[in-house]
Amino acid sequence: MRSQDDSINSSENKNSYFLFNPPAFLDPYAPRWQAGYIQHINSHLKLGSYFGYGGKNINFNFSEKQRTAYRLWEIRPEVFLILNPKVRTVKYLSIEFFYIDQFNTFSDEGYESSTGTDYTYAQADFNRQKYGLHLKYGLFLNTGKHFGLNFSGGFGFRVLNQEYNNIINQVRKERALFAGIGDPYYKEVFDTRFHPALSFKLYYRL
């Protein structure tokens, strides 16, 4: 006997979806609102895009760093290959492209420059760009007539560029033993690395 999730429906899945990602609002370093839409194309293909925006006036969950300015936006287009459109719980393979642009102003902090030298400063602007792609496996789990949960995971790569600009009262300092530990924004960096992906979203099914 087949399980409920694997049972065959009488008709193919032709749904489109509105999605919302609550955990993104609780990110301790880059809180933002995330929402998206997935459009049904045919039995085995859906196209979607996800958008995120963060700003100091719409988020409350800041780290202990003093931030006099904060702005983030992101876009994540995604192509979905539906493995079997007739099952109750639809499973898929997808390729997701992403781009994140972030700006902060930090006060009375320190950083490590791209040359490996540590500094303190009275105020500085911080810029971060992160982009890349993920190959993912996921599913749409219906919890009601219109609502459900979207789980996905996978891997890919990312390019990260972090830099400090417009620095006021910069002073060179000696490297502390644990400098930058637990602070992903401490170092100026430009590199490419392997990048895992794991996500959980709520959806409304059309």
Residue numbers of the chain with a pLDDT score lower than 50 = 1-10, 66
Q: Dump the DSSP string for the chain.
A: ---TTTPBPSS-----EEEE-GGGGG-SSS--EEEEEEEEEETTEEEEEEEEEEETTT-----SS-EEEEEEEEEEEEEEEES-TTBSSEEEEEEEEEEEEEEEEEEEEEEE-TTS-EEEEEEEEEEEEEEEEEEEEEEEEE-SSSEEEEEEEEEEEEEEEEEEEEEES-EE-PPPTTTTTT-TTSB-EEEEEEEEEEEEEEEEE-
Please choose, from the candidates 80, 14, 25, the residue with its C-alpha nearest in 3D space to the C-alpha of residue 49: 80
Contact 32, 21 (CB under 8 A): no
Residue 34 CA neighbour count, 13 Å, CB half: 23
Question: Would you say 54 and 33 are in contact if contact means Cβ atoms under 8 Å apart?
Answer: yes
The pLDDT, as a whole number, for residue 23 is 84
**Tens-digit pLDDT profile for residues 65-110:** 546 688 999 999 999 999 999 898 999 999 999 999 999 999 899 9
Sequence-ordered list of residues with C-beta below 8 angstroms from that of 135, at least 6 positions apart, any chain: 93, 94, 95, 154, 155, 156
Q: How does the average pLDDT of the chain come out, rounded? A: 89
Q: Is residue 5 part of a domain?
A: no
User: Is there a contact between 102 and 128 (Cβ–Cβ < 8 Å)?
Assistant: yes
Residue at 184 is within a domain = yes
Q: Which domain holds residue 45?
A: 17-205
Domain count, the chain: 1
Q: What is the pLDDT of residue 4?
A: 47
- The CATH number given to whatever domain includes residue 173 is 2.40.160
Residues 147 and 18: their CA atoms lie apart, in Å, by 10
pLDDT of res. 2:
46
